[in-house]
């Protein structure tokens, strides 16, 4: 097995770039939407066969065990090549969670199918009345013999229409003294009878989400991860992984690349006022890269992400919005056109980053909630 960390960063970048340029389908580059599983499964399996599907996983679990700098290189080259995001929650969230909290039987059952693309995961967290206040969730799981019976609903479930499995938070004790207590973390097969999906279109008209309904869904008792009623502890750890993923420089970098194309096409880099704003965003993106690398290194060492990772999510998503807004402004009258627009022989979809950035300060826990977390749990500021 290749020790990628023993290779210099420049040589590693060249290797990754060469492979991405030759192996990734041209027709799937720079799409302004999330890829469906049927579109990206061949690429997923290509990466799996090459051993590149799980950059951060340890080698003993089939991963690359990349250093933070090389993970960032891979992310940068993924963006440079226009490679679309795959349904990756198995790799980025479920897998690390099972490694940390799951039984050996659960590790044997679930980890390899993630790597092999046999299991595609979605997240069952938010509910119609429990979004950023996730601990108020009401979807229930009641033990009946050797199964749990689940009833309730989840919403904004990204790419659930393509998922084979869901990791879900359920209330298993309604009499717990605190709302964070009495919650359990379970793994659920999406083919289980009683599950119904209703797709939701986003602002750009794409079906990326769904509301999921559970009507007496029976799942084996061994689908419970960790201890009963201790799911909030696992959820916080997994939310750390999620905020690490959301905080990745990939999205802001995607928008910045397009901003640079538009700016060059319209000659805006010669304008001192625009050049100043452009330089500030470039520096902000460099700061985000550095911050992201720090947290990636923490995960690679097997350390638990603390509440301070909320800073990463805040910075990334607000930077993403600032870049997308300047992109629309820089495009001038063409900023109102949907789809690819020509700028001095460069085709740029101006509105896609704008559309995609708008919900970024809401999903994964709104930025207002993240600021509260930082104030309370990092800065130790007094409450009301």
* Domain extent listing, the chain: 7-86, 121-231, 247-378
Residue 384 structure tokens? 């009301």
Residue 251 structure tokens? 């999205």
CATH number (3.20.20.140, 1.10.540.10, 3.30.1180.10, 3.40.50.12280) of 7-86 reads 1.10.540.10
What's the CATH superfamily of 247-378?
Answer: Butyryl-CoA Dehydrogenase, subunit A, domain 3 (1.20.140.10)
The predicted structure's pLDDT at residue 279: 97
For the annotated catalytic residues, the residue numbers are 242
How many residues comprise the chain? 384
Q: What is the pLDDT along the chain (384 residues), one digit of tens a residue?
A: 788 999 999 999 999 999 999 999 999 988 878 899 999 999 999 999 999 999 989 999 999 998 877 887 888 788 789 898 889 999 988 999 999 999 999 999 999 999 999 999 999 999 998 877 788 899 999 999 999 999 999 998 988 999 999 999 999 999 888 888 899 999 999 999 999 999 998 777 778 889 999 999 999 999 999 999 999 988 877 777 677 778 888 889 889 989 999 999 999 999 999 999 999 999 999 999 899 888 878 876 767 788 898 899 999 999 999 999 999 999 999 888 888 888 877 788 898 899 889 888 887 778 898 899 899 999 999 876
CA distance 189 to 148: 13
Residue 169 structure tokens? 């938070």
The predicted structure's pLDDT at residue 302: 67
The beta-strand segments (E) located in the chain are 121-124, 140-144, 147-154, 165-171, 183-189, 195-201, 207-220, 224-225, 340-343, 346-349
- The arrangement of secondary structure in 121-231, i.e. its CATH architecture, is Beta Barrel (2.40)
**DSSP letters of 48-110?**
HHHT-S-TTS-GGGT-----HHHHHHHHHHHHHTTBPPP--HIIIIIHHHHHHHS-HHHHHHH
């Amino acid at each position: 097995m290749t020790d990628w960390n023993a290779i210099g960063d420049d040589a590693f970048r060249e290797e990754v770039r060469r492979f991405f340029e030759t192996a990734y389908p041209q027709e799937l580059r720079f799409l302004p939407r999330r890829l469906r599983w049927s579109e990206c499964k061949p690429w997923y399996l290509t990466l799996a066969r090459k051993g590149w599907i799980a950059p951060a996983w340890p080698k003993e679990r089939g991963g690359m065990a990349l250093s933070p700098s090389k993970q960032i290189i891979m992310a940068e080259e993924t963006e440079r090549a226009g490679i679309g995001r795959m349904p990756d929650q198995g790799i980025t969230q479920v897998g690390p969670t099972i490694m940390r909290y799951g039984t050996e039987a659960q590790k044997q059952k679930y980890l390899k199918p993630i790597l092999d693309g046999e299991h595609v995961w979605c997240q069952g967290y938010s509910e119609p009345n429990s979004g950023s206040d996730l601990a108020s969730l009401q979807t229930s799981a009641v033990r009946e013999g050797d199964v749990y019976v689940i009833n309730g609903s989840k919403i904004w479930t990204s790419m659930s229409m393509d998922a084979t499995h869901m990791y879900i938070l359920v209330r298993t004790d309604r009499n717990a003294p605190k709302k964070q207590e009495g919650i359990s973390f379970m793994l659920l097969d999406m083919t289980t009878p009683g599950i119904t999906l209703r797709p939701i279109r986003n602002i750009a008209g794409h079906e990326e989400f769904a509301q999921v309904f559970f009507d007496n869904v029976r799942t084996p008792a061994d689908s419970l991860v960790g201890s009963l009623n201790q799911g909030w502890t696992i959820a916080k750890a997994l939310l750390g992984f999620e905020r690490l993923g959301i905080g990745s420089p990939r999205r802001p970098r995607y928008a910045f690349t397009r901003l640079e194309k538009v700016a060059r096409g319209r000659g805006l880099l010669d304008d001192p006022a625009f050049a100043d704003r452009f330089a500030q965003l470039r520096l902000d993106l460099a700061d985000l890269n550095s911050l992201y690398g720090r947290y990636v290194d923490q995960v690679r060492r097997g350390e638990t992400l603390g509440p301070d990772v909320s800073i990463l999510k805040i910075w990334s998503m607000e930077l993403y919005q600032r870049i997308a807004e300047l992109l629309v402004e820089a495009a001038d009258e063409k900023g109102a056109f949907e789809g690819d627009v020509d700028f001095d022989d460069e085709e740029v979809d101006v509105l896609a980053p704008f559309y995609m950035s708008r919900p970024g300060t809401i999903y994964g826990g709104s930025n207002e909630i993240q600021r509260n977390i930082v104030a309370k749990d990092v800065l130790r500021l007094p409450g009301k």
